[in-house]
Amino acid sequence: MGSDLNSLDGFPGELVTVDVTDADAQAAHIAQVAETHGRIDVVVTAAGVAGGGPLHLIDIEEWDRVQNINLRGTMLTIRAALEPMIKQRSGSIITIASVEGLEGCEAGSTYNASKGGVVLLTKNLANDYGRIGIRANCICPGFIDTPLLRGVLDALPFREDIIAQHKLGRLGKPEEIAGAARFLAGDDASFVTGVALPVDGGYTAGHSYGIAEMMGLS
């Protein structure tokens, strides 16, 4: 997180920058949080980077960079948070994957592989730790209107085609992902675990070919 977030009104905690690929740094920071507050109730793993291309053209170092941040970084955060959660026999783990972790897309092998790994890692967490009161769920966003996405989409000639694949006809908003995370973190989701939840404006609902428009639904 950037230091500019320190100015957010009403933000309930301290903001600390940690390299998610550094196992020792992750463990030390989360241990400090647990010691300060006495417990860890919720962890959300949201660090991620884009990357891709057809497999035969992918640079191996770029592949490793994406996997290290998106998948290994997620694993290291959760691994560190599990220790206090196991002791208290409760907790909610929320990972952020992607619709591209649920289905393939052109030139998406690097990113899709990392996010598909996050989805299945989350399901395994639900299997392993549900018996001691720890829930694990995954949010799979569609295309969300952020500076990172705009930097990618604005350079593409088929930007509007991508947006059109969201059945609500627009990009998502960051706060819509935050709302899903808040639900999964709270008591209203106390019987929800092992779920990969698309928050995608209908992106994964199916394919559109213009037939509905031909029938007057426009």
209 found inside a domain: no
71 found inside a domain: yes
Mean pLDDT of 195-201: 98
82 found inside a domain: yes
**Boundaries of domain holding 164:** 3-198
Q: Measured between alpha carbons, how far is 169 from 161 in angstroms, rounded to an integer?
A: 10
Summarize pLDDT for 94-103 with one digit per residue, the tens: 999 999 999 9
Summarize pLDDT for 187-197 with one digit per residue, the tens: 999 999 999 99
44 found inside a domain: yes
208 found inside a domain: no
Judge contact between 43 and 82, C-beta under 8 A: no
Judge contact between 196 and 96, C-beta under 8 A: no
212 found inside a domain: no
Q: Is 111 known to be catalytic? A: yes
**Side by side, which strands form the sheet with 134-141?**
42-45, 91-96, 134-141, 196-199
159 found inside a domain: yes
45 DSSP β-pair partners: 95
Which CATH number goes with the domain that contains 105?
A: 3.40.50.720
172 found inside a domain: yes
Predicted confidence at residue 59, as pLDDT, reads 95
Q: Where would I find the beta strands (DSSP E) of 142-213?
A: 196-199
Confidence band of 125 (pLDDT split at 50, 70, 90): very high
Confidence band of 13 (pLDDT split at 50, 70, 90): low
Q: Pick the catalytic residue: 111, 129, 203, 209?
A: 111
- H/E element holding 71? none
Supply the pTM of this predicted model.
0.90
130 secondary structure, DSSP code: G
Residues whose CB falls within 8 Å of the CB of residue 202, separated by 6 or more in sequence, listed in order: 166, 167, 168
Judge contact between 95 and 115, C-beta under 8 A: no
The count of structural domains within the chain is: 1
Q: Measured between alpha carbons, how far is 107 from 212 in angstroms, rounded to an integer?
A: 29
